[in-house]
Chains A and B, each alone.
Chain A
Amino acid sequence: MRPRRRDRRFDDARDAAGNGVLDRRAFLRGGAGAVATGAFMAYAPSDASAASPPETPSGMTTPGAPLSPYGSPATFEREVTRTLIRSQPGTTGAGASRTPLEALEGMITPSGLHFERHHNGVPTIDPAQHQLLIHGMVARPLIFTVASLQRYPMESRIHFLECSGNSALMYGATPPTLTCGQTHGLVSCSEWTGVPLRLLLEEAGVDPRADWVLAEGADAAAMSRSVPMAKAMDDAMLALYQNGERLRPENGYPVRLFLPGYEGNMSVKWLRRIKVTDTPTMTKDETSKYTDLRADGTSLMFTYPMEVKSVITRPAPGLKMTGPGLYELSGIAWSGRGKIRKVEVSADGGQTWAEAVLAAPVLAYALTRFRIAWKWNGAPTVLKSRATDDAGRVQPTRDELIAQQGANVVYHYHAIQAWRVESTGEVKNVYA
């Protein structure tokens, strides 16, 4: 009897878009606790749910594990790791690892799962030995210790960081048969705390004719990028903390540059030097890489902001639907040009769309979580999400993006993602 009543309630709920996308308030009506929702499962679902747990589980009959100095994820979550860890041939630290987006919720990425992109490994840096030089077109070249930076006024901001090459495989002729995180997981979001770069530049006294700064890392690639002075004096930060603790080594310990909204490569890790210059330095990573080759053979250079983008993370490749019924679709949206204004979701391949609920807080240059109820009838279909930012920019379709730029760009892929849900519950990446 009860299942029938539940069904009737959702039959009454107004469809917000075709093929079972429900009104955004569906989950709020009559108390979500009374509603049986479909569950997503990771690979290889088991039938363990058939057996009831004991009335008095062992954890209730013996003392639990001791206190510990630094917590770790539950042992049962050991498969939730960074994924598709790939390095250049013959190397171990010149490549990338991805955030397992389909395993996560909310807007913050755990620091240990933040994606990595290194050009020659993670250096071991003793903060007591590390120094930052600011020089070039300044009145007073200055050297800062990490301890001295700790005494400066700090800001805390929640921002995404996205590698410019995130989702690059989507430019390919056939959709990658990878998990959501393996395809789109070169994006993560953290609370970053540090010193506005502007304060240190003002102390050094910037020559008004200087238009750029060069940022250089203390890694074995001495990774370096030129940054426009306007950005350096606006919201550029020397980040010391990530999600409340000091930066992880793979995120630039002890100090990194952070440029909100800009392609991740520019937020130089292990920062050792800022040189104030009149021109861009034209480093390898702003000329031969991180430039956008178009179909006509010309390239766009200095394409800094990451464009408006979204992806449904539940369900998504790497998860499996467990039969027809009510689900909550969940995903992330972000824009390097501001805040997310809305995310629309379609469960019929893009014929009809409904606006998802954006989870507060909705912040500029941060991942925004969106959710919407979907009643799956068990038939194959295609799910899509489409984000709009507060600058009015809308995610293009893949065809539109490629028609505009060609398929050789490598960087800044941000088209609408389509996931095909098979009747078996499998979720696949499709071009649709």
Chain B
Amino acid sequence: MCTREALAVATCVIVFGGCAGTAPRETPNLGRAATQAEIAGWDISIAPDGRGLPRGAGTPADGALVYAQKCQVCHGDKGVGGPNDRLVGGQGTLASKTPVRTIGSYWPYATTVFDYVRRSMPFFQPHSLTDSEVYAVTAYLLSLNGIIGEQDVMNAETLPKVKMPNRDNFILVQPWKPRVQ
């Protein structure tokens, strides 16, 4: 992954070096160069193919413990019946008059669960879980939805490979343009 990024940067330098002669607009140029260490501290987003996922791992059993402590009060026992968004169930309801949109019935990418929990949850203490706790909660929610097994370990390798049941039911109005490998 590092090599790939290094190649991308090298390509940019070549491309833009080549453009230098085409009358560049004069701009203030007041940005300060960001170091890789600074970027690493800020960059919390996870791509749908898993790029950006950190080290660490968790199982549904680990996640059940975290969930009971940090999530259940808002999202209910096993992801159902809480005052806030329902997280589990709803498969088969999307074409009905009362669709139930949950992680299991609706969300197209498992990486989004990790990304969102890590950046925004728990609601009153965002950024308080360790990466392994986030993997564990993600595993627990995927397991409750019947998408992974109860023993499956979620980590940077396994999470992007999880195929969410509703993924193919999204029609992209804006083209995706997949990355050329």
Footprint of B on A, CB under 8 Å?
A: 88-91, 94, 119-120, 133-135, 137-145, 148-149, 151-152, 199-200, 202-205, 207-209, 211, 214, 216, 220-222, 224, 228, 272-273, 275, 277-284, 287-288, 291, 293, 295-304, 407-408
Contacts and interface: CB of A to CB of B under 8 A. Distances in A.
Contacts of B177: 211, 278-279
Given A119-B120, A138-B12, A282-B108, A202 B27 contact: yes
Interface residues of B, number: 58
A217 to B, nearest CB: 10
A204 B31 contact: yes
B119 A152 contact: no
Interface string B33-53: 110001100111111110000
Given A220-B126, A297-B99, A300-B171, 10 more contacts: A152-B27, A203-B31, A207-B11, A279-B177, A279-B179, A281-B47, A282-B108, A297-B94, A301-B170, A301-B172
Contacts of A287: 107-109, 112, 170
Given A90-B74, A287-B112, A279 B49 contact: yes
Nearest to A230: B174
Given A202-B25, A207-B8, A142 B34 contact: yes
B29 interface: yes
A142 B126 contact: no
A119 B112 CA distance: 16
B164 to A, nearest CB: 9
Question: Chain A: interface secondary structure?
Answer: loop
Question: Chain B: interface secondary structure?
Answer: loop
B3 interface: no
Given A120-B126, A282-B111, A284-B120, A298 B171 contact: yes
Interface of B: 8-9, 11-13, 15-16, 25, 27-34, 38-39, 42-49, 74, 83-84, 94-95, 97, 99, 101, 103, 106-109, 111-112, 115-116, 119-120, 123, 126, 169-174, 176-180
B12 A207 contact: yes
A171 to B, nearest CB: 11
B38 A133 contact: yes
Contacts of A133: 34, 38-39, 42
A280 B179 CA distance: 11
Nearest to A133: B42
B170 A279 contact: no
A229 to B, nearest CB: 10
16 contacts: A133-B39, A134-B31, A137-B12, A149-B30, A152-B28, A207-B12, A277-B47, A280-B48, A283-B112, A284-B115, A288-B101, A288-B103, A299-B170, A300-B170, A301-B173, A302-B174
